[in-house]
Chains A and B, each alone.
Chain A
Amino acid sequence: MTGATILLAIFDGVAYAALVFMVAVGLTLIFGVLRILNVAHGSLYAIGAYLTASIGGAIFAMGWSPVLAFPLMLVSAALVGVLLGAPMERLLLRRIYHRPEVLQLLVTFAVFMILEDVQRLVWGNQPYFESSALALLGNVQVFGVYYTVYQLILLPLVAIATLIGLRLFLRRTLTGKLITAVTEDREAAQSIGIDADRVYLLTFVLGAALAGLGGALASPTTSVLPGIGAEMIVLSFAVVATAGLGQIEGAALTALMIGLGRSFAVYLFPELQVLVPYLIMLAVLLIRPEGLFGSPAARKI
């Protein structure tokens, strides 16, 4: 491996980690508060990507400015959060908070099955590719290596902003503190007058929107086609599980670790590319079953 390929591998890994983090952080946030693992989370990512690529393709073909690609991503994320996340929590998840974990998994799995087909019904089987946002920002040269500004600078910046923003939101704002309180002890929080139902809804919409934003940000860098949702839920679960369920900062570090591991594999052992994230996860879980940053759960008797 020459210096240039090492650098390329690092850049690839960082860009990829930023995208995975956006999805994983939503997954881990929802789990932290609702105690439900949303199997349909990958579909929300895919739908965010589809929305951005298809709406973007349509409006740029009509001659609108490509600068609109960036606000469009936020709009797509908001649409995913409000139009999919909100009904899902209100109509479905609300009925099953007190049911066994297996049932909760089955319900979100059923939603995953439904959303995978919704994508195919709406967008068909052909791939979508819309990279105006990528082209708009151009390239940058770092130590003799050319890389896109979008992937090297924008994606990591958005990921870091999300991480810091979430931390400040949860620790410093009233709404964030309410969320933290409900996470700690739902009954105690309710007894002092916190509307836990609203907190659950808000968290789920926020988490879903983050998945949508992840998809929207990913869309300029890759073709959007059926199956990306299934891949993403498994990958983001690998990140979340390696970090420890519910660990936001941990998810960021783990995403970086898995992203770099994967991109180095692309250059060194291309066939192992898909396996590396899982190998990292299995290695970590063998040694620390509760994840890198998780704490062992107390035993219930």
Chain B
Amino acid sequence: MSVRLILPALAIVALALVPPLAPFLQVLLTLAMAKGIAVMGVTLLLRAGQVSFGHALFFGIAAYGAAFLAASPLDDLLLLLLAGALGAGIAGVLVGLFVVRYRGIFFGMLNLAFSMIFWSILEKFYYVTGGADGLRLPRPSVAFIEMDRGPYEVLLYYASLLLAIALGWFVVRFLASPVGQLFQTVKTNETRLEYLGVSARRTLLKGYVLSAVLCGVGGVLMAAAQGIVTPSYAYWIRSGEMVFIAVLGGAGSVVGAFAGSIAYELVRSYAAAFAADAWQMVLGGFLLAIILFAPGGLVGIYAAFADRIGARRAKSASKKEAGT
């Protein structure tokens, strides 16, 4: 365990030092952590053995909710986050009540259908949503203190980092809690769950709403960082990206969601220029490679590496003992 925790701990320290030491990475990592929080939602569902191709729906709902609220006198970052999370949560209950009746193919595709419906509403009702141009989200105040751009971006960075750690910890605790254990049983043996007298649908719904809220928080952070929301927030490409990052990081791993999204954003911002027209293609190819050859993702690779070092250390320690 100790070896495995070294890198995540170092990563958090390094991330906290980014604004003073490496300010050029600040915006990029804000987006990475916003996405990472949303990806955790997809990761969570993978733990129940389900994949959603439409979680950008909640990402988009929260971002648009924040943009609408920002146009009112209540444009404060904390209120935007609360409203976004709440909106995504309510949408999660409504959509969830329907989709938790299904598993596997239907679960994935019905989520896709819901997100496509929302996306086409965003495009069609342009007099409300701004159509393909989207809505501007002017810089909100923070705790009702107006801020300049520089401090606002630093603050947003730390807010994202803090939320990422706090929500990550919450998800880990959720998965370890009795409800979380039941939730994961949906994957391993749903029938047994029903025999225990627990409603599998209701259990899945709880996790589904949590995953929607996580996507909502990620959506608001992303909108607040970019200053604009567009229908692409809710398009299938965004959902696909989330699924990709979740699998890249390590299907089902909370730390992996962030490792995956930071790696993804770094590669994207530097490499996407070389493959701007073929970015989805590169992603698709990588997705296939990971699924077929490294199903544990980044976290799986690291864990195997850490275990090997741990084992070597234990061996040398026991050798020493034998020598003395």
Contacts and interface: CB of A to CB of B under 8 A. Distances in A.
Interface stretch (A149-157, A189-197, A215-223, A233-241): A233-241
Contact of B291 (A103, A118, A275): A103
A299 B191 contact: yes
Interface stretch (B3-11, B80-88, B102-110, B139-147): B102-110
Nearest to A112: B284
Nearest to B105: A37
Interface string A274-301: 1100100110011001000000000111
Interface string B284-299: 1101100110000000
A222 to B, nearest CB: 17
A109 interface: yes
B245 to A, nearest CB: 13
A114 B102 contact: no
A120 B104 contact: no
Interface in A95-141: 95, 100-103, 105-107, 109-114, 116-118, 120-121
A245 interface: yes
A105 B104 contact: yes
B288 A107 contact: yes
B177 interface: no
Contacts of A103: 291
B156 interface: no
B243 A282 contact: no
Contact of B53 (A101, A109, A238, A278): A109
Contacts of A271: 124-125
Interface string B93-130: 00000100111111011101110110011001100000
A296 to B, nearest CB: 12
Interface string B38-63: 00000000100111010000000000
A102 B46 contact: yes
Contacts, number: 105
B148 to A, nearest CB: 39
B281 A109 contact: no
- Count class of interface residues, chain B: 35 or more
Nearest to A35: B105
Interface residues of A, number: 41
Nearest to B117: A278
B98 A282 contact: yes
A105 B287 contact: no
B42 to A, nearest CB: 11
A92 interface: yes
Contact of A120 (B116, B120, B277, B291): B277
A233 to B, nearest CB: 8
Contacts of A245: 105
A100 to B, nearest CB: 7
Interface string B230-258: 00000010001001100100000000000
B109 A237 contact: yes
Nearest to B112: A234
Given A105-B104, A275-B120, A114 B281 contact: yes
Residue of A106, A116, A285 contacting most chain B CB atoms (<10 Å): A106
Contacts of B247: 106
A266 interface: no
B287 A106 contact: yes
A245 B121 CA distance: 27
B169 interface: no
B233 to A, nearest CB: 16
A113 B50 contact: no
B105 A281 contact: no
Given A101-B105, A106-B51, A234-B116, A121 B284 contact: no
A286 B51 CA distance: 21
A241 B292 CA distance: 28
A127 to B, nearest CB: 16
A39 B243 CA distance: 14
B163 interface: no
B71 interface: no
24 contacts: A37-B109, A39-B53, A92-B288, A101-B104, A103-B291, A105-B104, A105-B105, A107-B288, A107-B292, A109-B53, A109-B243, A110-B288, A113-B281, A114-B288, A117-B277, A117-B280, A234-B112, A237-B109, A237-B112, A237-B113, A241-B109, A241-B110, A275-B117, A278-B114
Given A100-B49, A111-B288, A112-B284, 17 more contacts: A95-B292, A102-B49, A102-B50, A105-B104, A106-B243, A106-B291, A107-B292, A109-B287, A110-B287, A113-B240, A113-B287, A114-B288, A237-B109, A274-B124, A275-B121, A278-B117, A281-B113
Interface of A: 37, 39, 92, 95, 100-103, 105-107, 109-114, 116-118, 120-121, 230-231, 234, 237-238, 241, 245, 271, 274-275, 278, 281-282, 285-286, 289, 299-301
